[in-house]
């Protein structure tokens, strides 16, 4: 059955409506032809050269990512820049790229939602509600009540296990009792003040910086920084599986491949 790039876009935008994206974001079809026939789809976090090569090797002519390749509009597209070289390689190989970013973070059952479920929490509310659809189900972050009090150290170990993280950084007394938890996948530092006002004991996120973290420590709010990649790639893989199941129901089998070349750019010594 013929599957077009536009058909996949419709599925993704039903799953995560672009109207949920924040104003500065760039979501949607980044590169390619809406009317092109899709052979296979590669799901990844970013468009790196490793991902482009993987797509070529595995016969994928559509890449679906979380992070947009074109976050800022380029002034030129030439081989003088990394971005230009990527775009040229994609076009030369007739590979389209679609990105679902902050809309996928915010939507009910999106990345924030999945990141929370991966930790075993089922009952939660939205940290910062997006009123686009006049309900309280969409928005950035999730707040959960622990079924029973858990120590900060125990919660750190839970995050490591469930997100398959090599390590986490944490702020606070390891014996601190945690009852209310905020979870913001990716970069959650901008929501520290809202986390504090919401009465949370701890936030699980990534990309935290020294001075902001120091202030939170003095406010006696614990932080578990598992890293940007670790808090987003496991949920994104779940999105890839959902996309695959939807396409199967539409009669398109063996279309979606979860990348094996998406990895954290950081190394540890």
pLDDT band at 168 (very low <50, low <70, confident <90, very high): very high
Residue 217: the pLDDT is: 97
Place of tokens 């468009």: 47
Q: What is the sign of the dihedral through the CA atoms of 112, 29, 233 and 248? A: positive
Residue 139: the pLDDT is: 96
The domain made up of 5-101+232-258 has a fold known as 3.40.1390
Taking only the tens place, the pLDDT of each residue in 46-96 is 999 999 999 999 999 999 999 999 998 889 999 999 999 999 999 999 999
Q: Are 66 and 111 in contact (CB under 8 A)?
A: yes
DSSP state of 16: S
| Residues above pLDDT 90, as percent of the chain | 91
CA angle 3, 246, 114 (to 5 degrees): 130
Q: Are 264 and 230 in contact (CB under 8 A)?
A: yes
Question: Which is it for strands 177-187 and 202-206: parallel, antiparallel or unpaired?
Answer: parallel
Q: Are 68 and 102 in contact (CB under 8 A)?
A: no
Taking only the tens place, the pLDDT of each residue in 187-202 is 999 999 999 999 999 9
Looking at residues 206-223, what average pLDDT do you find? 97
pLDDT band at 253 (very low <50, low <70, confident <90, very high): confident
Global pTM value: 0.95
Residue 136: the pLDDT is: 85
Tell me, yes or no, if the two domains 5-101+232-258 and 108-226 fold the same way: yes
Phi/psi at 139 (5° precision): 150, 180
The first and second tokens of residue 19, run together, are 């109207």
Name the average pLDDT for the chain. Answer: 96
Whether residue 236 is predicted with pLDDT greater than 80 in this model: the reply is yes
β-partners of residue 235 are: none
> Cα–Cα distance between 5 and 7 in angstroms, integer?
5
Domains of the chain, residue spans: 5-101+232-258, 108-226
Domain spanning 108-226: which superfamily?
NIF3 (NGG1p interacting factor 3)-like (3.40.1390.30)
Residues 6+ apart with CB under 8 A from 251: 1
């Amino acid at each position: 059955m013929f599957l077009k790039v536009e058909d996949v876009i419709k599925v993704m935008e039903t799953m995560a409506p672009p109207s949920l994206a924040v104003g500065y974001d760039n979501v949607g079809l980044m590169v390619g032809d809406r009317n092109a026939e899709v052979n296979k789809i590669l799901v990844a976090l970013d468009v790196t050269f490793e991902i482009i090569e993987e797509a070529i090797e595995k016969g994928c002519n559509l890449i679906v990512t979380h992070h947009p390749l074109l976050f800022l509009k380029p002034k030129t597209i030439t081989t003088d820049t990394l971005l230009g070289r990527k775009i040229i390689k994609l076009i030369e190989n007739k590979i389209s790229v679609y990105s679902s970013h902050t809309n996928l973070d915010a939507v009910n059952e999106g990345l924030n939602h999945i990141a929370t479920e991966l930790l075993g929490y089922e009952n939660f509310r939205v940290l910062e509600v997006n009123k686009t659809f006049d309900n309280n189900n969409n928005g950035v972050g999730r707040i959960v009540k622990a079924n029973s009090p858990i120590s900060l150290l125990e919660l750190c170990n839970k995050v490591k296990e469930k997100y398959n993280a090599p390590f986490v950084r944490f702020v606070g007394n390891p014996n601190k009792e945690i009852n209310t938890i905020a979870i913001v996948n990716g970069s959650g530092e901008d929501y520290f003040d809202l986390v504090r006002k919401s009465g949370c004991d701890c936030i699980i996120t990534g990309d935290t910086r020294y001075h902001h973290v120091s202030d939170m420590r003095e406010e006696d709010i614990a932080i578990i920084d598992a890293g940007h990649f670790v808090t987003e790639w496991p949920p994104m893989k779940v999105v890839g599986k959902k996309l695959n199941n939807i396409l199967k129901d539409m009669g398109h089998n063996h279309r979606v491949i979860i990348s094996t070349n998406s990895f954290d750019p950081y190394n540890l010594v």
